[in-house]
């Protein structure tokens, strides 16, 4: 079987390959095809993978190409990890909003909308290529904003596209650990980066109330510390870590502003030096990758954490269980017809009654050779339904602005999206932020002028 990785020159690609070498999702992948628009990044990541393979016994063959059609043809699975506009684009997404006193973050707030506006057209063309050349392949999408992008792609690929994120599973893993359980049913629901854990059952009993009542255990892990016992008890649910940007928006914006650098700026500097040093010393590619990866993981999702006064991330959160594990678990569930339950981004059907059938949601899914089927979530608290509905309207305005209409009407739709976003304080600010994006992002200038 062939696995194609789009964005194959990206820094996180070795995580996927490493997980394959360790036998995760052992489904008989014989060939990994890396595709990227940047041949030099492919070269650098290729060196890292070669050195990983040398240390392993049997390793899937790796090839690399900048030709999308050649990469996709014959693939059983296509992973998408592209970043349209690169980290330079992320810096603009974050900085423009922050300069107007609004959250500057990769996926939440205006930054995520700008990222979506750039990404949806490119990913849609890729999905059309996959539909044409590998109609039986599964497209596993990590490209952010993952929920919005997956919804746009589902219009081309139907249920053959599945979006993934590591944060729901991360939360569930931490809750299970705090409760000393190894097998639980997690009643988690939401949109990507906008979800809640409503119950965690073991042996037929919901153990979440017990966890919420126990301050020491609740604050023994990330989300408990981020949101605090009082707020979690008020909600009666544990929010996904990304909800920090909503529930503690003022603190997050202040902390990011005071830090002086955004996450994108930090990563841009780090990655430029990584690719540069691998070019100069390819023989040390793997060692350098490991060093940089460690530095990056320790500070991962750093903005919210700094604001909450938290230090470095727990080492047990950092090691393993990231998005590559979820991607491989999904691949294994499909290829081996396993019937596993995984939290994934798929079309709603009727899982969450307050959203329509085509809305992509993030919920537990039963997964076998036929792909994922969402489980029925049922009614959710009104405040959660309200926020999800609002954000879904915003996401859809972005998709419309990215794909349809003349430059003028599309710009109106993009303005609507920004003006309706709950984290943008006024339409005046929304207009200024949008103008900033159009001015600074070449892709948006072309689309809107």
| Annotated binding residue 165 | yes
> Hey, what long-range contacts does 154-160 have (CB within 8 A, 24 or more apart)?
154/347, 154/358, 154/360, 155/124, 156/124, 156/127, 156/128, 156/131, 157/127, 157/130, 157/131, 159/346, 159/347, 159/371, 159/372, 160/131, 160/371
165 vs 424 by CB, closer to Mn ion: 165
3-state percent breakdown (helix, strand, coil) of the chain, nearest 5: 55, 15, 30
Residue 242 tokens, joined: 């990304």
3-state secondary structure of 202: strand
Least separation in angstroms between CB 263 and ligand G6P: 5
Contacts of 319 (CB under 8 A, 6+ apart): none
Q: Which x/- pattern, by CB under 6 A, does the window 92-131 give for ligand G6P?
A: --------------x-------------------------
233 vs 313 by CB, closer to Mn ion: 313
Least separation in angstroms between CB 323 and Mn ion: 7
Choose the catalytic residue: 38, 159, 166, 314. Answer: 166
CB-based burial, 314-345: b 16+ in 10 Å, e otherwise: eeebbeeebbbbbbbbbbbbbbeeeeeebbbb
- Region near Mn ion per CB under 5 A, out of 4-12, 14-22, 30-38, 161-169: 161-169
Q: Which x/- pattern, by CB under 5 A, does the window 102-131 give for Mn ion?
A: ------------------------------
Task: Give how many residues touch Mn ion by CB under 5 A.
Answer: 1
Q: H or E element: which one contains 78?
A: strand 77-80
Choose the catalytic residue: 17, 115, 188, 242. Answer: 242
- Region near Mn ion per CB under 5 A, out of 75-83, 164-172, 271-279, 297-305: 164-172
Residue 421 tokens, joined: 């976003």
164 binds, among ligand G6P, Mn ion, none (CB under 5 to 8 A by kind): none
194 vs 367 by CB, closer to ligand G6P: 194
Q: H or E element: which one contains 67?
A: none
165 vs 351 by CB, closer to ligand G6P: 165
166 noted as active-site residue: yes
- Region near ligand G6P per CB under 6 A, out of 43-51, 159-167, 310-318, 351-359: 159-167
CA distance 226 to 210: 19
Which residue spans within 290-449 are E strands per DSSP?
Answer: 340-347, 360-368, 371-374
Q: Which x/- pattern, by CB under 6 A, does the window 353-392 give for ligand G6P?
A: ----------------------------------------
* Sign of the torsion angle spanned by Cα atoms 414, 417, 421, 426: positive
From residue 399, give the alpha-carbon distance in Å to each of 117, 153, 266, 370, 429: 7, 10, 29, 27, 21
300 binds, among Mn ion, ligand G6P, none (CB under 5 to 8 A by kind): ligand G6P
Contacts of 20 (CB under 8 A, 6+ apart): 3, 29, 32, 60, 328
* Strands 360-368 and 194-202, sheet pairing: unpaired
CA distance 409 to 392: 20
190 vs 371 by CB, closer to Mn ion: 190
Residue of the chain from 34, 48, 108, 165 that contacts Mn ion (CB under 5 A): 165
182 noted as active-site residue: no
167 vs 249 by CB, closer to ligand G6P: 167
Contacts of 181 (CB under 8 A, 6+ apart): 200, 202, 207
Least separation in angstroms between CB 167 and Mn ion: 5
Specify the residue for token string 């029925």.
Answer: 376
75 vs 194 by CB, closer to ligand G6P: 194
430 binds, among ligand G6P, Mn ion, none (CB under 5 to 8 A by kind): none
| Annotated binding residue 447 | no
301 binds, among ligand G6P, Mn ion, none (CB under 5 to 8 A by kind): ligand G6P
Least separation in angstroms between CB 327 and ligand G6P: 12
Site for ligand G6P in 253-282 (CB under 6 A): 263, 267
Dihedrals φ, ψ of 200, to 5°? -140, 105
- Interface residue list for ligand G6P (CB under 6 A): 106, 144, 165-167, 263, 267, 296, 300-301, 323
Annotated catalytic sites, by residue? 166, 242
Binding-site residues for substrate sit at 90, 144
In the complex, which residues of this chain contact Mn ion (CB under 5 A)? 165
């Amino acid at each position: 079987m062939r696995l194609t990785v789009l964005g194959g020159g990206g820094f996180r690609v070795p995580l996927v390959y490493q997980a394959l070498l360790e036998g995760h999702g052992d489904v008989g992948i014989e060939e990994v095809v890396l595709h990227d628009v940047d041949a030099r990044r492919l070269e650098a990541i290729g060196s890292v993978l070669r050195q990983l393979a040398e240390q392993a016994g049997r390793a899937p063959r790796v090839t690399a190409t900048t030709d999308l059609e050649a990469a996709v043809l014959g693939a059983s699975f296509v992973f998408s990890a592209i970043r349209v506009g690169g980290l330079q684009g992320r810096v603009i997404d974050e900085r423009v909003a922050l300069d107007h006193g609004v959250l500057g973050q990769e996926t939440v707030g205006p930054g995520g909308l700008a990222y979506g506006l750039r990404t949806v057209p490119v990913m849609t063309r890729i999905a059309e290529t996959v539909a044409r050349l590998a109609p039986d392949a599964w497209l596993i999408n990590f490209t952010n904003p993952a929920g919005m992008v997956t919804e746009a792609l589902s219009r081309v690929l139907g249920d053959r596209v599945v979006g993934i994120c590591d944060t729901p599973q991360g939360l569930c893993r931490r809750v299970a650990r705090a409760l000393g359980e190894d097998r639980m049913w997690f009643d988690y629901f939401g949109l990507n980066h906008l979800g809640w854990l409503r119950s965690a059952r073991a042996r037929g009993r919901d153990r979440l109330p017990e966890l919420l009542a126990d301050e020491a255990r609740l604050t023994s892990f990330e989300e408990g510390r981020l949101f605090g016992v009082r707020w979690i008890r008020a909600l009666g649910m544990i929010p996904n870590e990304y909800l920090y940007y909503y529930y503690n928006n003022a603190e997050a914006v202040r902390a990011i502003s005071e830090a002086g650098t955004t996450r994108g700026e930090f990563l841009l500097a780090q990655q430029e030096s990584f690719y540069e040093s691998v070019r100069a010393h390819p023989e040390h590619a793997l060692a350098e990758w490991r060093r940089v990866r460690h530095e990056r993981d320790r500070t991962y999702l750093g903005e919210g954490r700094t604001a909450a006064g938290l230090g470095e991330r727990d080492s047990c959160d950092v090691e393993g269980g990231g998005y590559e594990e979820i991607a491989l678990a999904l691949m294994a569930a499909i290829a081996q017809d396993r019937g596993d339950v995984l939290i994934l981004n798929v079309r709603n059907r009727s899982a969450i009654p307050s959203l329509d059938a085509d809305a992509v949601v993030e919920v537990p899914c039963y997964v076998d050779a036929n792909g994922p089927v969402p489980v029925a979530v049922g009614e959710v608290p009104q405040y959660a339904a309200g926020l999800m509905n609002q954000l879904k309207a915003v996401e859809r305005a972005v998709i419309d602005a990215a794909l349809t209409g003349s430059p003028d009407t599309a710009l109106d739709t993009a303005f609507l999206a920004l003006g309706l976003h709950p984290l943008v304080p006024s339409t005046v600010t929304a207009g200024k932020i949008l103008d900033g994006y159009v001015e600074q992002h070449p892709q948006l200038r072309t689309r809107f002028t």
